[in-house]
Structure 1
Amino acid sequence: MAQNAVCKIAVDDIALDRQVITNSDFTFSHVLDDWSVTNQKSSGRCWMFAGLNLFRVGAMKKMNLKEFEFSQNYTFFWDKLERSNHFLQRMIEMVDRPVDDRCIAWLLESPLEDGGQWNMFVNLIKKHGLVPQAFMPETESSSSSSRMNRILLNKLREGAKTLRDMASKDASFDELLDAKDEIITVIHRILSIHLGTPPTHFDWQWNDADKEFHRDGEMTPQQFAEKYITVPVDDYVCLVHDPRPTSPIGKTFTVECLGNVEGGAIVKYLNIDIDLMKQIAMKTIMDGEPVWMGCDVGKMMQSNLGLWDAKLYDYEGIYDTPFTLDKAGRLQYHQTLMTHAMLFTGVDVIQENGREIPRRWRVENSWGADSGRKGFYLMNDNWFDQYMFEIAARKEYLPNELQDALEAEPIVLPAWDPMGALAREVSVVS
């Protein structure tokens, strides 16, 4: 019977558990969003969209606007340029290693993907600020980045060879830096052709939701960010759930060679228990603020329904075999990793044994309004346990002993560790 069905119909349609669907009620005790979703289109900028969507909530309130977007193309430009510089700097530092060294080979394989991490997003904002979308709108290449990325990769790999060849001929460190700057000048030109030229200043004025006129006058991107980012960015920390036995709870970690802005903050996260992550995310939403998060988006998902549930598909019933890897095993054996960042904008909280616990989550995605329910999704709490990996949250929500743990020197994971995977997201089609 399974063979007859699956030979004619997609296996997901056969395995879909209808009881999960009928029991998933799209209502929540706490909902923050009353705005429309954004659309990253055919790019891997989810981390950037999620961060800017977090910031735009406060900006809309401050400016009394129903709809507003920061320019995702502006931050995209600077991330590509900064990451190019970061990559070439690593090539200079590693010129004494053979080209087939595993770390160098890894960097050459994926030096300039679209993805990123929370700390990388903050680095961009602190250095380059923000602009409204109107002053650097989307282009064909920001919305569909694969062709541009291929050109950039060609130049970066060529640049890596140039630097290594110079080093083999005893070029000085300063000579290598000068050569790197020449390569970055070319990268800047390519990016400007594809994405436009980032504004250094602009004149900002608007009509608010009550049709009242406001004028800020001429501003720089840094001034605009300082005025309209309403959350204390410096108070945020990156929290993950990594259940592998090699990743102790309460320890900080970083990933080798992962970053964008030279001299900026490293990618650093604290490993915490999954229940604590839930409590922090829940309390943040209940206090009126969305939550930036990272997960393995494609697992047990039905995008037309806008639904995630850990038991959404009964593959075991279809194939008459158990699938036994737990979350730690899936990480260790390359079965799961962080693939997408989004925003929690709601939670359904119930009382159980005198405690407030979440049972489902409302998620703002960045795949446009045609995905999910006008772009919003429902995540049942059992899916959170299995496929959620990361949130950015205010340090104050952590217990005191874990706040102290944040100050510890991080354990360094290799460049290819799955906990760095979100920064390797490639162009996607939603």
Structure 2
Amino acid sequence: MFHFKEEFFVTKEISPEQLADFQANLNTQPAHAVIERAVTKNGILKTAADWQAEVDMAPVFSIDLDTGKVANQKQSGRCWMFAALNTMRHDIKNKLKIEGDFELSQSYTFFWDKLEKANYFYQNVLATAQLPTSDRKVAWLMTTPQQDGGQWDMFMAIIEKYGVVPKSVMPESFSSSASREFNATLNLKLRKDAVELRKLVAANASEAEIAKRKEEMLAEVYRMASYSFGQPPVKFDFEYRDSDKNYHIDRDLTPKAFFAKYIGWNLSDYVSIINAPTADKPYNHMYTVEMLGNVVGGRQVRHLNVDMATFKQVAIDQLKAGESVWFGCDVGQESDRQKGIMDTNLYHKDELFNVDMQMTKADRLDYGESLMTHAMVLTGVDLVDDKPTKWKVENSWGEKVGTKGFFVMSDAWMDEYCYQVVVNKKFLPAELQAVLTEEPKVLAPWDPMGALA
């Protein structure tokens, strides 16, 4: 085995001789003065931009679902909710032929997610109460007690327990559209409650005493959420006008009854498919993440890891069947938010600086360069010889970005920066459907596949 010599680990400062070498190396770079002037004036991305990518990513697709206008999550991290509700909204709007804009209430599901995440946090605090605060799990819990983000299975847990309602029944509030203040206030409370719960455990308080205090804490969270988002409806009337100008009204619906009647999906049919080509996650197996979830006793977060060819094929098959696809990606990588383009050829930073910046997808995950940060909806794909070249993406950032809110994603970008799609399991090959029942391997809480969109 090779052993490093001790001097390799001795701290050495940058010497004047090295600085002279660095300057000499810079002077040998072709057109270095021109490049310096361009970058100092325009910045890295504008200087490294490739206009051909914009030409190649023209928003025309061989399969293109009509999903209506995009929604707008505004200053909140609810992309996972918007994306999931949009897939359901597409279905309702098409079946009922609803005229005009129609959305499901993101504020309604936000309310319940905040309450359930608080309860989930308290449970994790109690489960780790005998560990020191310096323990990595405890530190991880306290870094962000709760946040706006989530994953598909977490949203399904909310739907299964609370149902959904039209946006007209529970519209946006200040805090649902701009959640920073609420999150900061709630996390302050949750950390303070964690101190008290850990002290109760340390003092050998009874289970009944701890449960009573935890219930009081949850009542306070419920009050905070009610003041901030409004109280969620228990019953409501659903009214709309269809494209033939006919008026419809359905009275005294509960949120769960509305979901059953107007959406009616068997939620267990929809499964999370991931592409994580890291050594610790062999393909064609199931994975879950420790301490990841929102509803205690609710649906477990489960991922089936597959190769990229399978990942894309199941998404294509669902689009061909006329159904949009929820997906998760690292949206900030190689993307132009204003133009709505995600493409690996969008910028050539390595050529600009003459520096090799290439990493494999696995290395980006293992070394913290990339993870899932955002969820959107696939609503189209351009197939050439039955192979995808680019994908149509419905975002939730309003109509002022992209093409009226829709983005174009190159197939190469999907290979590198897409990590999750959700499809009906019927689109999986039979051998992979059988894997879905496998007991999942439990990943660490900080695993990149536990990232919240």
TM-score (norm 2): 0.91
Is 2:361 aligned against 1:327?
yes
Counterpart of 2:15 in structure 1 is none
Q: Distance in 1 between matches of 2:380 and 2:428?
A: 20
CA contact under 8 A between 2:97 and 2:243: conserved in structure 1? Answer: yes
- 1:355-366 equivalences under 5 Å are 356-366=386-396
Whichever residue aligns with residue 408 of structure 1, its letter is: E
Please give the per-residue CA displacement for 1:187-207, whole angstroms capped at 9, x wherever unaligned: 011111111110111122222
- 1:389 is matched with which residue: 406, 419, 435? 419
Q: Distance in 1 between matches of 2:137 and 2:406?
A: 38
CA contact under 8 A between 2:283 and 2:305: conserved in structure 1? Answer: yes
Q: Distance in 2 between matches of 1:7 and 1:94?
A: 50
- 2:402 is matched with which residue: 359, 365, 372? 372
Deviation at residue 167 of structure 1 after TM alignment = 1.1
- 1:94 is matched with which residue: 102, 105, 128? 128
Aligned length: 419
Q: Distance in 1 between matches of 2:266 and 2:173?
A: 31
Task: Please say which structure displays the higher CA radius of gyration.
Answer: 2
Whichever residue aligns with residue 42 of structure 1, its letter is: Q
Deviation at residue 134 of structure 1 after TM alignment = 1.1
Percent of counterpart pairs with the same letter?
43
Is 2:95 aligned against 1:62?
yes
Deviation at residue 97 of structure 1 after TM alignment = 1.3
Q: Is 376-385 or 57-66 further displaced after alignment?
A: 57-66
Whichever residue aligns with residue 346 of structure 2, its letter is: L
CA contact under 8 A between 1:58 and 1:230: conserved in structure 2? Answer: no
Q: Distance in 2 between matches of 1:2 and 1:284?
A: 46
Counterpart of 1:403 in structure 2 is 433
Counterpart of 1:313 in structure 2 is 347
Counterpart of 1:37 in structure 2 is 70
Structure 1 runs of 4+ off > 6 angstroms?
none
Q: Distance in 1 between matches of 2:239 and 2:177?
A: 26
**Greater RCO (Cα-Cα under 8 Å, separation 6 or more):** 1
CA contact under 8 A between 1:59 and 1:230: conserved in structure 2? Answer: no
Q: Distance in 1 between matches of 2:53 and 2:131?
A: 53
CA contact under 8 A between 1:55 and 1:230: conserved in structure 2? Answer: no
Q: Distance in 1 between matches of 2:72 and 2:108?
A: 15
What secondary structure does 1:74 align onto? helix
- 1:199-238 equivalences under 5 Å are 199-238=233-272
What secondary structure does 1:292 align onto? strand
Q: Distance in 2 between matches of 1:335 and 1:34?
A: 33
Please give the per-residue CA displacement for 1:24-55, whole angstroms capped at 9, x wherever unaligned: 22110111124100000011000000000000
CA contact under 8 A between 2:392 and 2:406: conserved in structure 1? Answer: yes
CA contact under 8 A between 1:291 and 1:392: conserved in structure 2? Answer: yes
Is 2:41 aligned against 1:23?
no
Counterpart of 2:304 in structure 1 is 270
Deviation at residue 91 of structure 1 after TM alignment = 1.1
Counterpart of 2:16 in structure 1 is none
CA contact under 8 A between 1:56 and 1:68: conserved in structure 2? Answer: yes
Counterpart of 1:428 in structure 2 is none
Q: Distance in 2 between matches of 1:305 and 1:230?
A: 36
CA contact under 8 A between 1:58 and 1:231: conserved in structure 2? Answer: no
